[in-house]
Structure 1
Amino acid sequence: MIFEALEIDGAYKITPNKLGDSRGAFARVFCMEEFQQYNLEVRWVQMNTSINATKGTIRGLHYQRPPYAETKLVRCVRGKVFDVFVDLRKDSPSYGAVCTVELDSAALEMVYIPKGCAHGFQTLTDDVEMHYCHSAFYKPDHEAGVNIKDPKLAIKWPLPFSVLSDKDQNHPIFETTEPITL
């Protein structure tokens, strides 16, 4: 696996080594030893799937407040997405930074998002499926979000929004979001 450090402290884009032959392809998408070499989370307590029918769909920017802050390992398993996350960690050297990465299922790419970051994405194709590994259990009373249209974050979404939930549209802006202390 290739681990590429990103702009947000502790975040990585991970690209598996894909082996192919006449049968198709094979790749290892998780290896505890390789993740531990980078001091990354290896304990996943929950895995979720998101299925998105329409190109341009937005989900996010979501996170959980402590004590249920979660590290995420996110992979696009069908289609292509513009993945976005924002560092909300008060003591992080990259506090307030926005990171964007394209994830393509054909390349088996993943993004490792440290706890204390808000996460979202926009689908770049129809019929997208995302797979998430979480280091903490989902707790509805600890969920929160940051507004995807926040002008201070200045996220350059590649497509017009086709589907966006009322909930995601009405998250508070970054400046009014309480920084996370881990």
Structure 2
Amino acid sequence: MTLEEALRAAFAALEAGARLRHGAFHTPALATIGRDGAPALRTVVLRGFDAATRCLAIHTDCRSAKYAELIADPRAVLHGYDAATRMQLRLAGRATLHHDDAIADAAWAASRKTSRMTYATAWTPGTALPAPPAAPEDPVGGRAHFAAVLLRFDHLDWLLLDPAGHARARFDWAADGAMAASWVAP
């Protein structure tokens, strides 16, 4: 395997994850810096990937801790693992938040009704409740709480766990888009 093949495999996995609901990279973990300075990790749904801009798209509730954490510090890491291929990806970059703009409007319009329902609840994510709430019946009110998050990564760590020998590569992009790639010890 070459570095170019490793990068192509990583990008193909991300494209499939954004497109296929049951794809291995459809529900990666997103790490942010919590308000207390500690790492904060949660599973997200990968909604889009643009290889040309190295942008990953996810959605969130603008009332969530995740949203507040990304406002305070936009640095984030996305982690995914495909057990079938034994490929792990770690992508680090900066997030931009889109709540009341054309990017958020387009993401909302492209969302399924069931996804929109998530944002229509009256409660802020993390609110203590006496029992699980009933699902909202109308997603329209959810738009006010919906935000699109675009994570543009400038670092990609690719790892392949192989019984014949693990392989790991690092890809870094400079501000001008120039890429540096190297094999590193697993």
Shorter-chain TM range is: under 0.3
For the pair shown, which has the larger CA radius of gyration, 1 or 2?
2
Relative to its length, the structure with more helix (as a share) is 2
Q: State the TM-score, normalizing by the size of structure 1.
A: 0.24
Q: State the TM-score, normalizing by the size of structure 2.
A: 0.23
